[in-house]
Structure 1
Amino acid sequence: MSGESTGYDAARIEVLEGREAVRKRPGMWVGSIGERGLHQLVFEVVGRAVNQVLPGRGGSVDVTLTPDGGVRVTDDGPGGPFEDTGDTDGHQGLEALLTSFYAGSEPSGRHVAAVGQFGVGLFVANALSSRLTAEVRWEGVRRVQEYARGVAVTPPSAVGPATGSGTTIAFWPDTEIFETTRCSFAVLAERFRQVAFLNRGLGISLTDERPAGEARAVLFRFPDGVRDFVAALDAETGAALHPDVIGFEREDPRMAGTMEVALLWSGSREERMRSFVNSRATPQGGTHVDGFRDGVAAAVMAYARERGLLAADPDPGADRIGEGLTAVVSVKLDRPEFLGATRGLLGNTDVRVCVGKAVREHLGNWFEEQPGRAAVVVDRIVRGIHQD
């Protein structure tokens, strides 16, 4: 069939760029135009705020759902200029982040917490909002700029003195784009809680001002990181076999990153495993989870053999090792390699070896230091193996 017969040729191809492309196909950037996409929009803005405070420059992010359908995100990070500074390090000002796809130098790798699924940044949030106001507190001055559907309404302007430093982004998701603009307090709170667990000491608050006379607020900050995460997961199931969470944190240059692992065995038969890469959930697991299982199995079997608890040399099986196990495995990598478009499965081969060795060493030491508690855990696993 020819182009003449179909009435279609190159002149009919529509090329969309920038803001128009985002508004024309919003699902490509935030996943959907329903509630899921709306939450991703919030996560993009909160993600930028979290990464402003993570490197020890601040410490907290405050998210507020306002009565008029807006979302306000405030951080106490370093702030910065609206305009490009011309620095040789390539840092762009906030105005550039709001009006173009970012191509400059930002923190990356293990130093970035992936709060949202897509990582598309402030530009997409601005384009998909009917209105957005950006405020920067920097060098003692408050400066503000307003946008409408991604287009600047006013230039950045000084509006008064600033106390402290940081950034506030207030935005109103566009009703012309989204099927709903009402965020779920529960969905946002669960993800913020998760991010706070995975980044020890980070504070994230969520305030809902929408219910008339019934404002509610939560604050998440966990000084013990993933240890607190495991304790919270176990509290949902019942009493543990031992009261203390086993946990450690280690950096390993071979995998160009760090690992933070915590676990305990509970009295239930259910396994509760959570895994993350750079604060992004990996529901399909990957090499960090494989390494964790390798390390746990090796430590358990070595302890059992040393004490003559095994009559033979059986394969312990992942199901037996994981029975009653509650664990969180979080790795932060400079160069994570995911298998598949959804980024739910980690593929870095070095991670398996590094995590496996670290878990075996740390758990083995814990077995030696806590023989009474170790006996309860290992005997239960060994009995299960012999019954098979």
Structure 2
Amino acid sequence: MRYDAAQIEVFEGLEAVRKRPGMYVGSTGERGLQQMVLDAVGQAVNGALAKGGGRIDVTLTADGGVRVADDGPGVPFEDPGDGVTGELGLESLLTSLRTGPEPSGRHIVFLAPLGVGLFVVNALSSRLTAEVRREGTHRVQEYARGVPLAPPTTVGPATGSGTTIAFWPDAEIFETTHCAFAVLAERLRQVTFLNRGLDISLTDERPGGGTRAVRFQFPDGVRDFVAALATDGLGASPDVIGFEREDPRMAGTMEVALAWHSRQKSVHSFANSLATHEGGTHVEGFYDGVAAAVSAYARKRELLTAVDPGPGAERVGTHLSAVVSVKLDQVEFRGATRTLLSNPPVRTCVGDAVQEHLGTWFDEHPEQATGIVEQIIRDRPQDHHHDCHQG
């Protein structure tokens, strides 16, 4: 990359981002900061998942910066240069505003709704340092408010491999440069539940409260998620029913887990790891499948007669904790907020799979199944409020 007049389009893009930051990160308050951190982490997460998993360490540094380090192969600073894959090197990611369609595919994880990329993180930071450990060499490049200070420099040999991005949100742009540890921790915990190959840590070194750190790794994926939802530290975990399935009809995969317990219901849904707070076709399919399995079991055990109506979604969801996660090659959202999934085939695919797997579990656990189904049949719809919350 040359550092002369040929860079003029880069600086025009840079000026646009710095003039209207809210267009790119949604806010110049804490929400915008969270978006920046999650964009930097998202780059590392997608790199790790491309090779099956990996470790990512996120640090809120004592001097107000954020450091995201991974143990991947190291993203080269230069573009691959084949003109075929469309892949970009790290320097291009940091200095080019992405145009055209977003990367897509079931293996792409969305950590934040806007997905603006490293260029915007760089543009809205007073300084940024990119480090790559790759093929035995440690290289570094420094930026000031989005502008490279020099070409990438070799600083010595490297032990291991990986990419580290450290940035300091620009206090001239943001109303605050303080990220809430708990909010970040909860989102990273969710992403780790939904992608079992990941090992993510979050460390807070900022003055005032002493260093605190959390680390997340969940080998059982969304089953672990539901176990945590259902117990929340309150006693023994209930039986968690879970499965994964690929379905070509929806061009993607699903991972579903659920458990009935004594607490109020809590159904969380995700599309490519992005929380879909308003639900959508995957949630509709989930309730279709649960209701069909409950009705079929009730009729088989003569808990319902042939003419009795089966329970609807408002009844089967009582005292239910569940996670419905789909990963699709092409995700379609309704509206600009990306909180409502609209892919039509997903409803049928998830419904069929839930009905089949839950029906099998009922048959294999008749005593528990009868207790669950009898309680659902006994409950009258008017006894319950619609207290389901998504996301």
Q: Out of 270, 280, 286, which is 2:274 matched to?
A: 280
Q: Out of 289, 302, 306, which is 1:308 matched to?
A: 302
Deviates more, 1:52-61 or 1:355-364: 52-61
Aligned-pair Cα RMSD in Å: 1.9
The answer to whether structure 1 residue 202 and structure 2 residue 192 are counterparts is no
Amino acid at match of 1:304: A
Name the counterpart of 1:96: 92
The answer to whether structure 1 residue 251 and structure 2 residue 246 are counterparts is yes
Distance in 1, matches of 2:30 and 2:101, equals 32
Amino acid at match of 2:74: G
Deviation of the 1:322 alpha carbon: 0.5
Q: Is the 8 A contact 1:314 1:385 kept in 2?
A: no
Distance in 2, matches of 1:326 and 1:256, equals 26
Give the structure with higher Rg (CA).
1
Aligned residues between the structures = 371
TM-score normalised by structure 2 residue count: 0.91
Deviation of the 1:90 alpha carbon: 2.4
Runs of 4 or more, structure 1, over 2 Å off, are: 55-58, 102-108, 236-240, 385-388
SS of the equivalent of 1:111 reads coil
Q: Out of 164, 185, 191, which is 1:189 matched to?
A: 185
Q: Is the 8 A contact 1:132 1:172 kept in 2?
A: yes
The answer to whether structure 1 residue 159 and structure 2 residue 144 are counterparts is no
Q: Is the 8 A contact 1:239 1:266 kept in 2?
A: no
Q: Out of 284, 289, 293, which is 1:290 matched to?
A: 284
Q: Please, which runs of 5 or more residues in structure 2 have no aligned partner?
A: 1-10, 384-391
TM-score normalised by structure 1 residue count: 0.92
Deviates more, 1:20-29 or 1:207-216: 207-216
1:344–1:166 CA distance, 2 compared to 1 (3 A): same
Deviation track 1:210-247 (CA, whole Å, cap 9, x = no partner) reads 1368211110000000000001111128567x832000
Distance in 2, matches of 1:243 and 1:130, equals 49
SS of the equivalent of 1:262 reads strand
Deviation of the 1:103 alpha carbon: 5.2
Deviation of the 1:366 alpha carbon: 0.1
1:316–1:239 CA distance, 2 compared to 1 (3 A): farther
Alignment of 1:1-388 (within 5 A): 17-56=12-51, 58-87=53-82, 88-102=84-98, 108-211=104-207, 214-236=210-232, 238=234, 243-268=238-263, 270-311=264-305, 312-385=307-380
Deviates more, 1:156-165 or 1:127-136: 156-165
Amino acid at match of 1:145: Q
Distance in 2, matches of 1:63 and 1:239, equals 31
Q: Is the 8 A contact 1:133 1:170 kept in 2?
A: yes
Q: Is the 8 A contact 1:26 1:32 kept in 2?
A: yes
Deviation of the 1:315 alpha carbon: 4.1
Q: Is the 8 A contact 1:238 1:266 kept in 2?
A: no
Deviation track 1:316-361 (CA, whole Å, cap 9, x = no partner) reads 1221110000000000000111101101111111000000000000
Amino acid at match of 2:258: L
Deviation track 1:278-322 (CA, whole Å, cap 9, x = no partner) reads 000001000000000000000000000011111432141221110
